[in-house]
């Protein structure tokens, strides 16, 4: 990284260990040294585990085809979008060559390397630290997992999609030592980064196997299996994706059944009842590992609150919001992917359960003003104490297995793919009619259905939609942009084409300026259509 981070680990340790003097001894005024396996474990748990990952990467949602964003409608001035959102995220939304500006800084890159270096520190220190061998193996497994996950994010944000790249194409720097002595590391290849990723997750699996690590707030064997399934799916290594996915589902087959849950409505938005049940709550049986803390207030930056706009109205089409108070407009196509009768409350319950539908604001002075679709996947306004945030979960693994079988397409694979789709969908759709081979005209149609199901199931979770757009060869994405006018004439459009260089993010400006060996990615200048 940068030269000024030459003593990064020492500084990091001092920052991390505030309040941890009970297990750390100071060898000098400037150095805090963990001595036991327990110390390293607490260090990893204290600042690792990606607790701030959502906060550092939430802006990626603006680049997807689930987002449609406007500055304001002056005729509805009391409900207009704030200019702050444009100043922060406008360049991201329009895929500019530079997404950073005077108001927004990409903090994801350094944050992820912080996790890498923390893992490196624990991997190096655990070998000779005092402690039981089983606890040492658990620490090693959790550290390998941490590094694998960090590089998965780095590679899929700042490198080319694995299936679109040549092995020799440049990816991100490969850092395997905790001592930062290289002022300006060079980029490693796609082959090197993904090779390290697979090596790390295999080591995580080996060290965590047959170990008890506690609840889903702690990295365990199941989490390693889930991440391995994800990594190999993206590498199009169908055999290994199936191998680890099948083992995970065999160990943890449970899915949250939402077919009989209460419809997500709220009286303040025109609904008749006041009950909202969060999906990511502590009793959800499909959660494998939770890596983001629950919000402590409605206004916390770790939620969708404050990310987009405070209020908004639209008299035609669809918007998708990210909470009951703070939301962004979304592409109509996502809502239309759910086969749901909202009046009868039948069909795909994900639309009913995860979204509040648009209803007329009875208290509004504007007769034609409707509220928008708002997703409640992470709404902290209701039941904050029992709500979780970002998770690895079994639902993702079911979809990954369906895709892996469909794309491998060996004898009997399509039947297995449909079986996993049915297993998931029967927990989401009421009444449910099982899919069969006859429902698909070709293997390509089945693969496309798997991709569509990923979008329906994983919307607004991690960076799934952006990653999937990259690896699936998204044909075209169009974002409309309103500079504050009162009619359609005020709209301009920006287009992201298939295999567009803008699918690869550039490194933060500060890193490029201070690391001359960090060859930047080439992103085109983006003009309005």
Using pLDDT thresholds of 50, 70 and 90, give the confidence band for residue 86. Answer: low
pLDDT, position 385 = 52
Buried b / exposed e over 268-287, threshold 16 CB at 10 Å, is: ebbbeeeebebbbbbebebb
Using pLDDT thresholds of 50, 70 and 90, give the confidence band for residue 279. Answer: confident
Q: Which of 28-37, 168-177, 372-381 has the lowest mean pLDDT?
A: 372-381
Q: Which of 49-53, 277-281, 447-451, 483-487 has the lowest mean pLDDT?
A: 483-487
pLDDT, position 372 = 57
User: What is the spatial distance between Cα 234 and Cα 161, in angstroms, rounded to a whole number?
Assistant: 8
Specify the DSSP element, H or E, that contains 223: helix 221-234
Helix (H, G, I), strand (E, B) or coil at 381: coil
CB 95, CB 525: distance < 8 Å: no
DSSP secondary structure, 301-346, as one string: TTSSTTTSBS---BSSS--EESSSSSB----HHHHHTS-EETTTTE
pLDDT, position 277 = 63
Place of tokens 């208290």: 363
- Is the per-residue pLDDT at 156 higher than 50? yes
- Is the per-residue pLDDT at 182 higher than 80? no
User: What is the spatial distance between Cα 389 and Cα 302, in angstroms, rounded to a whole number?
Assistant: 9
Dihedral Cα 177, 182, 185, 188, nearest 10 deg: -30
pLDDT, position 72 = 40
pLDDT, position 43 = 87
- Is the per-residue pLDDT at 42 higher than 50? yes
Q: Give the ranges where 17-132 is alpha helix by DSSP (H).
A: 37-47, 53-57, 83-93, 108-126
User: In sequence order, what are the residues at sequence separation of 6 or more whose Cβ sits closer than 8 angstroms to the Cβ of residue 438?
Assistant: none
Query: Nearest-CA neighbor of 111 among 79, 149, 143?
Result: 149
- Mean pLDDT over the full length of the chain: 78
Using pLDDT thresholds of 50, 70 and 90, give the confidence band for residue 261. Answer: confident
- What mean pLDDT is predicted for residues 107-135? 93
pLDDT, position 506 = 95
Residue 512 burial (CB < 10 Å; 0-12/13-18/19+)? middle
pLDDT, position 418 = 98
Using pLDDT thresholds of 50, 70 and 90, give the confidence band for residue 34. Answer: confident
pLDDT, position 170 = 97
CB 465, CB 66: distance < 8 Å: yes
CB 199, CB 191: distance < 8 Å: no
Residue 364 burial (CB < 10 Å; 0-12/13-18/19+)? middle
CB 356, CB 373: distance < 8 Å: yes
User: In sequence order, what are the residues at sequence separation of 6 or more whose Cβ sits closer than 8 angstroms to the Cβ of residue 375?
Assistant: 304, 320, 321, 322, 323, 327, 354, 355, 459, 460
User: What is the spatial distance between Cα 67 and Cα 422, in angstroms, rounded to a whole number?
Assistant: 29
- Is the per-residue pLDDT at 318 higher than 80? no
Specify the DSSP element, H or E, that contains 355: strand 355-356
Q: Which residue has the higher pLDDT, 173 or 327?
A: 173
Dihedral Cα 113, 119, 120, 125, nearest 10 deg: 150
Q: Which of 7-11, 69-73, 489-493 has the lowest mean pLDDT?
A: 7-11
Using pLDDT thresholds of 50, 70 and 90, give the confidence band for residue 172. Answer: very high
Buried b / exposed e over 21-43, threshold 16 CB at 10 Å, is: eeebeeeeeeebebbbbbbbbbb
Specify the DSSP element, H or E, that contains 287: strand 287-290
The top-scoring range by mean pLDDT among 179-193, 268-282, 419-433, 508-522 is: 419-433
User: What is the spatial distance between Cα 189 and Cα 176, in angstroms, rounded to a whole number?
Assistant: 15
pLDDT, position 207 = 97
Q: Is 134 left (phi over 0), alpha (psi -120 to 50) or beta?
A: alpha
Q: Which domains does the chain have, with CATH numbers?
A: 3-53+107-232 (1.25.40.390)
Q: Which residue has the higher pLDDT, 200 or 49?
A: 200
Residue 4, both tokens: 């000024």
User: What is the spatial distance between Cα 165 and Cα 192, in angstroms, rounded to a whole number?
Assistant: 13
pLDDT, position 484 = 53
Q: Which of 406-420, 442-456, 471-485 has the lowest mean pLDDT?
A: 471-485
DSSP secondary structure, 58-104, as one string: GGGGGGSTT----S--GGGGGGPPPHHHHHHHHHHHTT-S----SS-
pLDDT, position 305 = 32
- Is the per-residue pLDDT at 474 higher than 70? yes
pLDDT, position 379 = 54
Using pLDDT thresholds of 50, 70 and 90, give the confidence band for residue 216. Answer: confident
CB 178, CB 1: distance < 8 Å: no
User: What is the spatial distance between Cα 465 and Cα 443, in angstroms, rounded to a whole number?
Assistant: 22
Using pLDDT thresholds of 50, 70 and 90, give the confidence band for residue 7. Answer: very low
**pLDDT above 90 as % of the chain:** 49
Name the phi and psi angles at 246, rounded to 5: -65, -40
Residue 476, both tokens: 């075209």
- What mean pLDDT is predicted for residues 253-268? 75
Q: Which of 281-295, 389-403, 478-492 has the lowest mean pLDDT?
A: 478-492
- Is the per-residue pLDDT at 26 higher than 70? no
- Is the per-residue pLDDT at 10 higher than 60? no
Helix axes 221-234, 394-408, angle to 10 degrees: 40
User: In sequence order, what are the residues at sequence separation of 6 or more whose Cβ sits closer than 8 angstroms to the Cβ of residue 414?
Assistant: 405, 406, 437, 440, 443, 446
Q: Is 212 left (phi over 0), alpha (psi -120 to 50) or beta?
A: beta
pLDDT, position 25 = 36
- What mean pLDDT is predicted for residues 141-149? 97
HSE-up of residue 299 (Cα within 13 Å, Cβ side): 0
pLDDT digits (tens, 9 = 90+) for 325-358: 333 344 567 888 999 887 788 999 998 877 766 6
Name the phi and psi angles at 128, rounded to 5: -110, 5
Specify the DSSP element, H or E, that contains 149: helix 133-158
Residue 364, both tokens: 């509004």
Task: Note every long-range contact of 5-8, with CB atoms under 8 Å and residues 24 or more positions apart, other chains counting.
Answer: 5/180, 6/180, 6/181, 6/183, 7/180, 8/117, 8/180
Handedness of CA 145, 146, 149, 151 (dihedral sign): negative
- What mean pLDDT is predicted for residues 43-63? 84
pLDDT digits (tens, 9 = 90+) for 237-258: 999 999 999 999 999 999 999 9
């Amino acid at each position: 990284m940068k030269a000024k981070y030459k003593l990064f680990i020492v500084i990091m340790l001092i920052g991390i260990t505030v309040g941890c003097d009970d297990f750390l001894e100071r060898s000098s005024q400037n150095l805090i040294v963990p001595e036991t396996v327990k110390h390293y474990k607490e260090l990893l748990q204290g600042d690792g585990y990606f607790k701030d990952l959502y906060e550092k990467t939430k802006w990626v949602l603006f680049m997807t085809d689930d987002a449609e964003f406007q500055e304001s409608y002056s005729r509805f001035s009391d409900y207009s979008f704030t200019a702050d959102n444009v100043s922060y995220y406008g360049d991201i939304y329009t895929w500019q060559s530079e997404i950073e500006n005077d108001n927004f800084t990409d903090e994801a890159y350094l944050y992820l390397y912080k996790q890498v270096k923390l893992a490196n520190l624990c991997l190096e220190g655990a070998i000779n630290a005092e402690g039981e061998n089983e606890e040492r193996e658990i620490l090693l497994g959790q550290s390998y997992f941490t590094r694998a996950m960090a590089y998965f994010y780095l590679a899929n944000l700042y490198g080319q999609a694995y299936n679109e790249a040549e092995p020799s194409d440049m990816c991100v720097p490969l850092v395997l030592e905790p001592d930062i002595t290289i002022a300006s590391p060079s980029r490693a290849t796609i082959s090197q980064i993904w090779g390290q990723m697979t090596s790390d997750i295999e080591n995580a699996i080996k060290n965590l196997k047959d170990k008890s690590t506690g609840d889903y707030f702690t990295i365990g064997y199941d989490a390693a299996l889930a991440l391995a399934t994800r990594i190999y799916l993206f590498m199009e290594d169908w055999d290994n994706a199936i191998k680890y996915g099948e083992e995970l589902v065999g160990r943890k087959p449970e899915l949250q059944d939402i077919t009989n849950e209460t419809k997500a409505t709220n009286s303040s938005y025109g609904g008749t009842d006041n009950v909202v049940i969060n999906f990511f709550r502590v009793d959800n049986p499909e959660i494998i590992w939770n890596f983001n803390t629950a919000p402590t207030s409605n206004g916390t930056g770790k939620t969708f609150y404050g990310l987009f706009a405070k209020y908004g109205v639209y008299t035609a089409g669809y918007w998708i919001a990210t909470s009951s108070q703070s939301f962004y407009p979304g592409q109509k196509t996502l809502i239309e992917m759910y086969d749901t009768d909202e009046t009868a409350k039948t069909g795909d319950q994900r639309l009913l359960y995860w979204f509040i539908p648009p209803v007329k604001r009875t208290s509004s002075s504007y007769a034609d003003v409707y509220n928008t679709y708002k997703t409640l996947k992470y709404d902290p306004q209701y039941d904050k104490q029992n709500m979780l945030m970002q998770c690895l979960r079994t639902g993702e693994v079911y979809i990954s297995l369906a895709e892996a079988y469909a794309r491998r397409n060996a004898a009997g694979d399509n039947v297995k793919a449909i079986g996993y789709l049915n297993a998931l969908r029967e927990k989401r759709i009421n009444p449910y009619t099982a899919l069969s081979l006859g429902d698909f005209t070709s293997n390509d149609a089945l693969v496309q259905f798997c991709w569509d199901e990923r979008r329906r199931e994983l919307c607004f979770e991690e960076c799934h939609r952006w990653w999937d757009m990259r690896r699936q060869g998204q044909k075209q994405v169009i974002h409309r942009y309103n500079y504050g006018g009162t009619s359609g004439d005020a709209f301009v459009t920006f287009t992201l084409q298939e295999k567009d260089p803008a699918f690869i993010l550039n490194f933060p400006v500060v890193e490029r300026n201070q690391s001359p060996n960090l060859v930047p990615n080439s992103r085109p200048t983006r003009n309005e259509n």
